[in-house]
Amino acid sequence: MTFDLNDAELPRSSDLIPDGSFAKVTMALRPGGADGEGELDRGLLKLSNTPGSDVRALDTEFTVVSGPHARRKFWQQFTVQGGKVDEHGVSIGWKISKGMFRAMVDSALGLDPQDMSEAAKAKRKLRGLRDLHGITFAAKIRVEPSTNPDYGDTNRLDRVVLPGEPEYARIMAGETVPPQPSHRPARKAAAPQAPAPSWGTPQARPAATPPAWAPPASSAPAPAAPPPAAPKPTTGPAWLNG
């Protein structure tokens, strides 16, 4: 059997999305095998690789929907359990992530962040974190300098762009908005380590299979050994229905 490679797509550039870029993005969840709170989030979270850490995180993949960086991806984890706690014993990482998730919902639905009407509050209530799979919102993207010389810099979600901000409507309409670099100082590099073997370069993991009620956020293949499937929800989250 022969293979004709002439019609294969060429590898995409490894260049990062420029620091401070604005884009409309869709977030997909990548189940990590650890249970979250509630039946819907069974097998959804990812355990920390740090010995002794009790952190559980939401592993996410962002795909740019439109504009000059369309179909480009970046990855990020959000702490939802464990880690450092405040004076009330609440996970500080979770408080930060919860605020980010609320902003995503407000951006996706065009909700005024100051709107605390019963209708608006109802749209911010999720049955579980899995309801966030497939949410599309306006974002500002940053470049995060690597602290390990063996790895390159990476893209991260800098912040969610909310209704009322001057860039919001243009981003959601798919227009190109000039970048506004974050001007973050480079973090101090870690001590040099032995170079990783060329075959050990980390590769992005495939995206999680989406829930039945939402279209897949990417065409990546499903993980080879997926965690136990969560029960299929009968309806989508309130914010997805507008």
**Structure tokens given for 171:** 């981003």
The structure tokens 């189940």 sit at: 31
Q: Could you list the pLDDT tens digit for every one of the 242 residues in the chain?
A: 778 888 776 655 568 999 999 999 999 999 999 999 999 999 999 999 999 999 999 999 999 999 999 999 999 999 999 999 999 999 999 999 999 999 999 999 999 999 999 999 999 999 999 999 999 999 999 999 999 988 899 999 999 999 999 999 999 999 999 999 976 655 554 555 555 444 444 444 444 444 443 555 444 444 444 544 444 554 666 445 55
**Amino acid 211: pLDDT:** 45
Q: Are 141 and 182 within 8 A, CB to CB?
A: no
**Amino acid 241: pLDDT:** 54
**Amino acid 192: pLDDT:** 54
Q: How many CA atoms lie within 13 A of 2 on its CB side?
A: 3
**Amino acid 160: pLDDT:** 98
Distances in Å between the alpha carbon of 184 and those of 81, 136, 150? 27, 26, 21
Q: Are 116 and 98 within 8 A, CB to CB?
A: no
What is d(CA 205, CA 75) in angstroms, rounded to the nearest whole number?
10
**Amino acid 7: pLDDT:** 78
The pTM for the full model equals 0.73
What is d(CA 221, CA 232) in angstroms, rounded to the nearest whole number?
20
Amino acid found at 135: I
Q: Label each residue of the chain as H, E or C.
A: CCCCCCCCCCCCCCCCCCCCEEEEEEEEECCCCECCCCHHHCCCEEECCCCCCCCEEEEEEEEECCCCCCCCEEEEEEEEECCCECCCCCEHHHHHHHHHHHHHHHHHHCCCCCCCCHHHHHHCCCCCHHHHCCEEEEEEEEEECCCCCCCCCEEEEEEECCCCCCCHHHHHCCCCCCCCCCCCCCCCCCCCCCCCCHHHCCCCCCCCCCCCCCCCCCCCCCCCCCCCCCCCCCCCCHHHHC
**Amino acid 114: pLDDT:** 96
Alpha-carbon dihedral 53, 100, 205, 219, rounded to 10 degrees: 160
What is d(CA 101, CA 148) in angstroms, rounded to the nearest whole number?
29
